[in-house]
Amino acid sequence: MKTFSDLIFREDFRYTEDHEWVGTAAEHLQVGVSDYAQDQMGDIVFVELPDEGAVFAKGEQFGTLESVKAVSELYLPVGGEIIEVNSALSDSPELINADPYGAWLVRIKPTDPGQIEQLLTADAYRQMLQG
């Protein structure tokens, strides 16, 4: 496991208390899991993601990650429609461990883009983790 100072926090992303991140990709949002989350989980061996076109409310479970340690639920940080799923993760879920901010899980069209402002900044997320 990494030391806290070795963890990466993207300043241009927003975070949830459940360790998902949200980043902007054109008019859509990308969602993934933080460096902290993948580090705590260990080697990720399976990813279950929704179908494109599915609609979820903010905070609703949209998938799972399975590691050698546990299965973790994924919760959508911002409500919206799934417009793209990162299909590369089906064959290579370990990409999340290698690059948690490059290996996005889903892209969404948000129903209320203002919900992103309710999420934690990188500084607030760091402070939450440090307790």
Alpha helix segments (H runs only) across 44-121: 88-91, 95-98
pLDDT of residue 98: 97
Q: What distance in Å separates the CA atoms of residue 81 and residue 131, rounded to the nearest whole number? A: 33
Instruction: Give pLDDT tens digits for 37-94.
Output: 999 999 999 999 999 999 999 999 999 999 998 999 999 999 999 999 999 999 999 9
Give yes or no for residue 16 having a pLDDT over 80: yes
Euclidean distance between the first and final Cα of the chain, in Å? 18
- The top-level CATH class assigned to 4-130 is mainly beta
Q: Is 97 helix (H, G, I), strand (E, B) or coil?
A: helix
Looking at every residue in the chain, the average pLDDT score rounds to 95
Instruction: Round to whole Å and give the CA distance between 5 and 37.
Output: 15
In this prediction, residue 27 carries a pLDDT of 77
